[in-house]
Amino acid sequence: MEPDKVRLSNVRYAVGGVEILKGVTTSVDMGEVVSIVGPSGAGKSTLLRTVNRLVEPTSGEIFLDGVATSEMNPLELRRRVGMVFQLPALFGETVADVILYGLRLVGRSTDVRHLLESVGLNPSIAGRDPQSLSVGQQQRVSIARALALEPEVLLMDEPTSALDQAARQRVEDLIEDLNSRLDLTIVVVSHALDQVERVADRVLLLVDGRSEGEWSKEEFFYGKVAKQVRQFIAGEL
């Protein structure tokens, strides 16, 4: 049997003597969309960042295709495991510069216009100042930047929280499209349960740095414990 695409084993993370992650164990299958939900301050974003070593776990281990990420070159790991943040930070004079930033570090290039089309943007914006774009457009450019490195896993930290409803819908459509078209493995932190219901295959609940349960989307939204769990999350957000 093939190993999980991503597996976390008893992952802990502490800073300043305060333990933020308290022994999280979970896994993500290849081609799966997993949503991490839970109260504010539960450690969701921190957990996401441990997967591609933007923060280093205090203890425990994370595996990519069965290989410990602690044994990998961090830059190579981040090429294989891309990250999209809550607020897009776009560096460069043009949109094309933004998308090519990571590739230039490794001496590669790509078809910028094709990438823009793949995230639903008009390729004519390649020469524009990225700061002239709407926040929704900027977020899709940041997704294109991550995709330029052809990642095997895409981590998304509340990618639509700063967007209006129309832009949010476009990003959710894009998540579904990337997963179905590229069989891309995606892990999304989200506070929006309607978004989770739409895009996720499976849901992980994180509370106070601990995993408090995992459910398929069907179990989470329609199972016997679903209502109580959702009410708890809604009350804590």
Domains and CATH numbers, the chain: 6-236 (3.40.50.300)
Edge-to-edge strand list for the sheet holding 210-216: 81-84, 153-157, 185-189, 33-37, 202-207, 210-216
- Please give the DSSP secondary-structure letter assigned to residue 29: -
In the DSSP assignment, the letter for residue 53 is T
Amino acid at 83: M
Q: 42: helix, coil or strand?
A: coil
> Model's pTM, two decimal places?
0.92
Contact 42, 206 (CB under 8 A): yes
Which runs of consecutive H residues, i.e. helices, occur in 81-208? 95-105, 112-118, 135-148, 165-182, 193-199
The answer for residues whose C-beta is within 8 angstroms of residue 54's C-beta and 6 or more apart is 78, 83
| Tens place of pLDDT per residue across the chain (237 aa) | 566 999 999 999 999 989 999 999 999 999 999 999 998 889 999 999 999 999 999 999 999 999 999 999 998 999 999 999 998 889 889 999 999 987 776 667 788 999 999 999 999 999 999 999 999 999 999 999 999 999 999 999 999 988 989 999 999 999 999 999 999 999 999 988 899 999 999 999 999 999 999 999 999 988 876 677 777 666 654
Planar angle of CA 168, 21, 217, nearest 5 degrees: 45
